[in-house]
Amino acid sequence: MTKALDFVIRVVGVVLRIMLACTVVFVFCQILFRYVFNSPLSWTEQLSRFFFIWMMCLSVPVLFYKKDFMAFDLIQSAIPEPARSIIVILVKIAIVAFAVFWFYGSVTLIAGTLNKMTSGVKMHIYWLYSAQSVASALVVWVMSTQVVHDIRDFVRGKNSKEGNEE
């Protein structure tokens, strides 16, 4: 299961890099056409915005996977070890619960926009909103895997290595 997750996160990382490169090219084209040719392109602005939204959503599961998110290390280090491990597990379970709620909300949003199109690119708007569904499903997968791993370590009596140490 973790090998599949490792592969998916690597693919998402590659997709994020490609989207960033495309966004830079789109914005450069927009600047070039607007200020040099005096004929702005409408599709470059819209596609760069869509790619930006997808990049923001897809970066969330990658950050959780790499454990590069913000944490209150001062508070965490002040808590004794058995309690710290339990709190970390409970926080991760809460993140999974929120991601499930996020997924449900995003699917509901997609269902409400099935017949709507964007104005410039003439693309179904659900492609934009599906970024949230994909990201929330990946967050559920990543954090559920971490919860299982943390519970297994807690039962075995290993110390929790939370944060950027792993």
Choice between 102 and 114, residue whose per-residue pLDDT is larger: 102
114 compared with 132, residue with greater pLDDT? 132
- The pLDDT confidence band at residue 159, using thresholds 50, 70 and 90, is low
SS3 at position 124? strand
Residue-level pLDDT at 103: 96
CA dihedral 14, 137, 88, 93 (to 10 degrees): 180
Residue 124's pLDDT is what? 86
The DSSP line for 11-47 is HHHHHHHHHHHHHHHHHHHHHIIIIISS---HHHHHH
- How many CB atoms sit inside 10 A of residue 72's CB? 9
Q: Are 3 and 133 in contact (CB under 8 A)?
A: no
User: pLDDT tens-digit profile of 21-64?
Assistant: 999 999 999 999 989 888 888 888 889 999 999 999 999 999 99
pLDDT score of 161 = 52
Average pLDDT of the segment spanning 10-17: 96
Rounded CA gap, 85 and 66, in Å? 18
pLDDT at residue 157 greater than cutoff 60: yes
Chain segment 65-105, per-residue pLDDT in tens: 998 776 667 777 788 888 888 888 999 999 999 999 999 99
| Residue (of 62, 88, 92, 66) closest to 75 by Cα position | 88
How confident is the model at residue 79, as a pLDDT? 82
